[in-house]
Chains A and B, each alone.
Chain A
């Protein structure tokens, strides 16, 4: 079993929809949680970075972490075709030195 699990999709939504992307993790030592966006043939781009449980909002993006259920979510409001990409969740231990990634969810926002 992978330490971070993520549904690979693909997920297809109409423009303007609210998108919910989710991951689960198994390692209780994970304290930092990240979401990356990766366009085809590009490197991952850091979208959200959170510590422990709670919500964090940045523009149209909201990251949510529930450590009690080991559940990580990313919500995208008013989705745009430019949001079409692969979204990767990642986790890190306190004092850790590497990220453990999910396999990524492919999102397509259609006109």
Chain B
């Protein structure tokens, strides 16, 4: 498919475990974003990658959250020592300058 893909679609984990969420952006899109969507909170920006520039990590809620983007394409969001408040839908988006952000289907994370 031509859209943004994310895996897994659902993830259930126990409090304290680490999780990795994957995003495959639209081919050719230079920018990649991670957002979090919680009930009643709307979408919150987490991190932004643009080409080879240093990522904008200003939205990451704590140092338990990190992300990387390898080869300017696939990105992985890692949450260490998960907490129940980390339960949310994690959305990835990609864009080509000036043409809007296109979102994937999200990963629904549940921390028990």
A contact set with B: CB distance below 8 Å: 34, 36, 41-46, 49, 88, 90, 97-104
Contacts and interface: CB of A to CB of B under 8 A. Distances in A.
Contacts of B33: 97-99
Interface in B8-48: 31, 33, 35, 40-43, 45, 48
Contacts of B4: 43
Interface in B98-112: 99-106, 108
A46 B101 contact: yes
A16 B109 CA distance: 37
A46 B102 contact: yes
Interface of B: 4, 31, 33, 35, 40-43, 45, 48, 50, 56, 59, 91, 99-106, 108
Nearest to B44: A101
Contacts of A98: 33, 45, 48, 56, 59
Contacts of A102: 42
A45 B106 CA distance: 12
A33 to B, nearest CB: 11
Given A49-B100, A97-B31, A44 B56 contact: no
A88 B48 CA distance: 20
B32 to A, nearest CB: 11
Contact of A44 (B41, B43, B45): B43
16 contacts: A41-B108, A43-B4, A43-B103, A44-B43, A44-B103, A45-B103, A46-B100, A46-B103, A49-B100, A88-B42, A88-B43, A90-B43, A99-B33, A99-B43, A103-B40, A103-B41
Contacts of A42: 105-106
A41 B103 CA distance: 13
A100 B48 CA distance: 13
A90 B44 CA distance: 11
B99 A104 contact: no
